[in-house]
Amino acid sequence: MKYIYSVLFALVVGTVFAGEGLPYQIYNAKGKKVTYKQMIKQLTKSDVVLFGEYHNNSLGHWLQLKVTESLGEQQDLVLGAEMFEADNQEGLTNYVSGDMQEEEFTQAVRLWNNYKGDYRPLVEYAKAKRFPFIATNVPRRYASLLYKGGVEALDTLGVDEKAWIAPLPFPYDPELPGYKEMLTMFESDHVNENLPKAQAIKDATMAHFIQANKEENKLFIHYNGSYHSNNYEGIYWYLNHYAPQLKVTTITMVEGDNVGNFEKLNLGLADFILVIDANILKSF
């Protein structure tokens, strides 16, 4: 109930402050306004939808749930998320299938601090509909291992541990703009060539588990930070490498003071760009 109230409050705030009286506006990659119905129609033609988010945007999380429900009304789904690490798959599956109580689930699975308000509704939807929910992300300790010791450090892992990572050696293109940009985003004493590689192993692992769990005649919808799929890089790039036959559609969100104004810098960011009023309530 608290989640519902926070969403209603977010919508009210958006309505008051948005430039055109709306809390968000949907655009296509070329910056043209599209309706929610038009977006859903296009998404249903996909094999995989990558839904890029701002982790703390309340309205963005509400939109994720609404889009998922709209798609689930038309076809069976498989859900997946960056917010769950692959070695927690058993606990996630047991809960969604009804074989585990929620209290036990919260102890068995590493949950993000904002799970209850932002991601629990998606898990509960999958549970109610009996849709699979896939933990796609690499366990954080392995990304940290790569960052500290380089790609070769992953070779020290056992066979069972490597099952939670994209197959090694994983492809990596250091010239992708997103990875190059990472080298300029942080203070120099925290930056080395392993930083974008640690990001890449996350992207590769998420793409690996998406394609491995994609079921015929079921749409796979995946929730991830927008940086992991913006500009058709990251997860999208790896999916194109692992499973080029899949039709992948991307969604991203950006914040703006006037949702009716599309900024040119957002052109081509994704197939669908959700411009959300910057005054929307943050979940943390």
Work out the average pLDDT over 110-124. Answer: 97
Task: Give the pLDDT of residue 17.
Answer: 40
**193 CA to centre of own chain:** 24
Mind listing the pLDDT tens digit for each residue in 67-104? Answer: 999 999 999 999 999 999 999 999 999 999 999 999 99
Residue 11 has pLDDT above 80, yes or no: no
Mind listing the pLDDT tens digit for each residue in 18-28? Answer: 345 789 999 99
Task: Give the pLDDT of residue 189.
Answer: 65
What one-letter code names the amino acid at 262? F
Domain extent listing, the chain: 2-277
Cβ 199 vs Cβ 33: under 8 Å: no
Task: Give the pLDDT of residue 6.
Answer: 46
**How are beta strands 77-85 and 219-225 bridged, if at all?**
parallel
Compute the residue count for the chain.
284
Better pLDDT: 19 or 270: 270
Q: 7 pLDDT band (50/70/90 cuts)?
A: very low
Cβ 200 vs Cβ 172: under 8 Å: yes
Beta pairing partners, 223: 51, 81
- Give CA–CA dist 24/278, Å, rounded: 10
Task: Give the pLDDT of residue 185.
Answer: 81
Residue 39 has pLDDT above 80, yes or no: yes
Cβ 100 vs Cβ 127: under 8 Å: no
Mind listing the pLDDT tens digit for each residue in 130-157? Answer: 999 999 999 999 999 999 999 999 999 9
- Give CA–CA dist 186/157, Å, rounded: 29
Q: 188 pLDDT band (50/70/90 cuts)?
A: low
Tell me which fold the domain 2-277 belongs to.
Rossmann fold (3.40.50)
H helix intervals, 188-242:
194-213, 235-242
- Give CA–CA dist 104/82, Å, rounded: 21
Q: Which helix (H) or strand (E) holds 127?
A: helix 120-129
